[in-house]
Chain A
Amino acid sequence: MVLETEPIPFWPWLTGTAHEWWQVLLGLALLGLGLGLVVRAVRYGPLDAVRTVSRGVWAAIVDLARISPRRVLALAWLARREALHRWVLMAFVLFSLLLLFGAWFLDELSNDPSRLYLAFVLEMSRGLLLLLALLLSVASIPADLAQRTIYTVVTKPVRASELVLGRLLGFWMVGTAMLVMFGIVGYVVVMRGLTHAHEILPQHVSNLSESSGDAGLTGRTETTRRHHHTFTFDGQGRGRTEPTQGHWHAVQVEGSGSSAKYTVGSPQGWLQARVPIWGKLHFKDRSGANAEKGVSVGEEWAYRSYIEGGTLATAIWRFDGLRAAEFPQGLPLELTIRVFRTYKGDIVSAVQGGLRLRNPETGVTSAERTFPAHEFTTDSLLIPTKLFDADGQPLELFRDLVTPSGAVEIELQCITPSQYFGMAQPDLYVRASDRSFTLNFVKCYLGVWLQMLVLTAVGVLFSTFLNLPVALMATIGTLLGGYRLDYIRELAAGRMVGGGPIEQIVRLFTGMNMTTKFEEGTQRTVMTMADDALRWLFQRLTHVLPDFGALSDTSFVADGFDIPAVRMLEHSVATLAFVVPVFVASYLLFRTREVAR
């Protein structure tokens, strides 16, 4: 529903990542060098091995340093032409673009169609684009070798480095062009798909207050796209609908009585790019003692904790760095609460919640503000700058409740006894500001672009030394591994229930329970050793596989949060740090290959 990761500040991130990067790179370089020496030494003796390998290293430095832009561009041009002439591929692109329109046929009864549309369009473009990048990049060099057209190219003064770089650039250009098309079509699909208005018929409007003017005007709109809204007017000509399906409309009226004409504005409240400030969540249990977590009610996701109504159980978010200048109107909070009912009770009347602000240094606390908890919707609350404490004494928000360093605690309780509120850290945040949705959409596609760059580089890498089917499988493997890197990390850390992969397979075939212990003995020793070896391998893999899962920004856009600039910066740097060594490796592998075999 909402985000679970906060961006890590750039400099700490960079130093940590750069350290790991160097180590991995050094390890790989030494491994490659060692392998080269051994292979050569076995065939031609150690002396020749040392001579050949050191000459090779020097030649590599020359090849990488003397890259000619004109040749690289010529090869990139060729790669582009080659891609465009594959009509199967181009037909697939067209088909994919059409698929995006499938968003319009998604279930419109969804709670949140904008989220559904965005998730569909973004994930679809991402998946299809990566698939295209995969096919493009993997097929090219093997086809060139099979058709021997490469003979005519490598007998020109073309360095292997230029050949690989030209290909990469060419496919990146094609991928970029396709991405732009996907982006434009996706944007149109989302915008056109969500835009709608409602009609209002006078017979569905009533005036509760009997007075003239629009105060008390209330009614409901007609159904469009399988939903309708109720609306009310505020007496100053401004009407507004209740939110349904994640959006609301402004309503205007001209004239009165049966001759009144109503106009409904475009949908509001979705397609946003909110900039949140996150807090840190901790709990107090029912007796008021500090607690790491609330209670678990078993059925929800493990990460959400519950507090019991009518007790001292409290969820406390601590925010830092809030500055008065940025919030002249007060603190805009957004709140999403899970309600867990232990008894049916009165379904219609909402479970009540209470909210207080507390100064963590002085302990000054504001009076409790009660609110009805709406399940599944995000409620907005504005904490005004002028408040009162429990005794009715006035308080100034940024003077009395927020510390000079900008810290404040927000305490949340469930008032209705025996009912529960469920919450996790991202369920309450300060909505600091809003950015442009369109820009956020573009940023998300930039993230897909980075993934395309990475996958293309991987495809080219494998195609430099493997034949087409094997290279294809290796690249798909990398893609899937990168998507589920978290899972591989789990495997590597050995945190899985039921032991390592081999142990799990044994359990599967012997029909053994996941938690039963194995008997001591050679079988077990062998199994654990194999699992340790695999774990070691997975450990290495987690350092070299590109983290496609983390590179995705879809949930930000779909959930309506601004993609933080620092996140984009980090992803760009990470992409560069991945692509450059992969390019060098591709070059080295291609150079050691006999082209005419």
Chain B
Amino acid sequence: MSDVVIETRNLSKVYRDFWGRQKVRALKALDLEVRRGEIFGLLGPNGSGKTTTMKLLLGLLFPTSGEALVLGKPATDVTKNERIGYLPEESYLYRFLNAEETLDFYGRLFDMPAHRRRRRAAELIDLVGLSGAKRRQLREYSKGMTRRLGLAQTLINDPELVMLDEPTSGLDPIGTREMKDLILDLKAQGKTVLLSSHQLADVEDVCDRIAILHLGELKELGRVDSLLKVQDELAIRCTGLNEAARQEISDVIRRHNGTLLAMESPTMTLEELFLKIVAESEAHPGRRVVGSHGS
């Protein structure tokens, strides 16, 4: 089996109106290769063509020119879907079904026999933490719950290739963390993941490689670590030093003709702070935590 899971050649999409007039050139001559077992991120601001790319890969849209091969098959071939899981931007699920019925329905679309569907649905509902709500109609679900069920639906067929369109959008930091863990878990199981996001921070620590799109054009493509590494800067973070020690370090930098850019008590990222508060609050329920986390 080939190592290339997704391959696009010169893939372009022009949205036209009813009369065939050109409206938007959403994707311009995209050449891309996604390899087996990697987590590939499509990054770019809103409207840069990430969703369009995914829809083209899934056959939801037909390319204006160029072609896309997914798992070695043309994008319009439905049989490729046997091994694909897709999470759309928003979870488009039938609101008149409950979680169990939803998963059972999608399982049937994979021609899965009843006993396997039941087992798989139970596993997934457990995985996404909806056991308490599995008999409730989706119309009563919150956005986050719908999203979780959408994710469960994506994994129903234990896919080889998972496509996640903005998987972290609309999730709280815990949800984001869980999503990232799940993505890493999928990778650990040997699956290939293609995800899109407009927030670099959300995905930088999970993606192996990323492509940055802007206005339908590919701007950057490469490994995340090499893309994010600022080659001629060095950051030092430490604790337990007194004023004299700091002075000494500054001197060392000056002696080697370096320029001290900043030296201060590091701040946590907001995400880290929030996670810490929640962790503490869960460890000591009821206690006020404000102000107790100063350095």
Contact = CB atoms under 8 A, between A and B. Distances in A.
Contacts of B141: none
Q: Which of B90, B94, B106 has the largest count of A CB atoms less than 10 A from its CB?
A: B94
B93 A71 contact: no
Given A74-B105, A156-B106, A596 B79 contact: no
B60 A151 contact: yes
B111 A594 contact: no
Given A157-B82, A157-B110, A158-B109, A152 B60 contact: no
A86 to B, nearest CB: 9
A503 B92 CA distance: 53
B61 interface: yes
Given A85-B96, A594-B62, A155 B105 contact: no
14 contacts: A68-B111, A71-B109, A73-B108, A75-B109, A78-B94, A78-B105, A82-B94, A150-B92, A152-B91, A154-B60, A154-B78, A157-B81, A157-B111, A594-B62
A156 B61 contact: no
Contacts of A153: 109
A157 B92 contact: no
B84 interface: yes
Given A81-B96, A81-B97, A158-B78, A596 B105 contact: no
A316 to B, nearest CB: 65
B86 interface: yes
B12 interface: no
Contacts of B110: 156-157
Contacts of A71: 108-109, 111
A316 B262 CA distance: 118
Interface of A: 68, 70-71, 73-75, 77-78, 81-82, 85, 147-159, 594-597
B35 interface: no
A82 B79 CA distance: 26
A149 B93 contact: yes
Contact of B88 (A73, A85, A148): A148
A594 B90 CA distance: 19
B58 interface: yes
B60 A155 contact: yes
A571 to B, nearest CB: 34
Contacts, number: 76
A152 B88 CA distance: 8
B177 interface: no
B134 interface: no
Interface in B82-130: 82, 84, 86, 88, 90-94, 96-97, 105-106, 108-111
Nearest to B55: A596
A153 B157 CA distance: 13
B153 interface: yes
Contacts of B82: 157
A158 B86 CA distance: 14
Given A74-B109, A155-B58, A155-B60, 9 more contacts: A77-B105, A85-B96, A148-B92, A149-B92, A154-B78, A156-B157, A158-B78, A594-B60, A597-B61
A533 B45 CA distance: 55
Contacts of B92: 147-152
Nearest to A73: B108
Contacts of A156: 81, 106, 109-110, 157
Q: Which of B79, B88, B109, B110 has the largest count of A CB atoms less than 10 A from its CB?
A: B109
A56 B88 CA distance: 28
B208 to A, nearest CB: 24
A82 B106 CA distance: 15
Contacts of A85: 96
Contacts of B108: 70-71, 73-74
B90 to A, nearest CB: 8
Contacts of A595: 60-61
A48 B35 CA distance: 30
A274 to B, nearest CB: 48
B55 A152 contact: no
Contacts of A148: 88, 90, 92
A154 B60 CA distance: 8
A158 B109 CA distance: 6
Contacts of A73: 108
A267 to B, nearest CB: 47
B235 to A, nearest CB: 43
Interface in B189-217: none
Q: Which of B55, B60, B81, B88 has the largest count of A CB atoms less than 10 A from its CB?
A: B60
A60 to B, nearest CB: 13
Nearest to A81: B96
A182 to B, nearest CB: 24
B114 to A, nearest CB: 10
Nearest to B62: A594
A595 B81 CA distance: 15
Contacts of A70: 108, 111
Contact of B61 (A68, A77, A594): A594
B47 to A, nearest CB: 15
Contacts of B90: 148
B96 A82 contact: yes
A159 B111 CA distance: 12
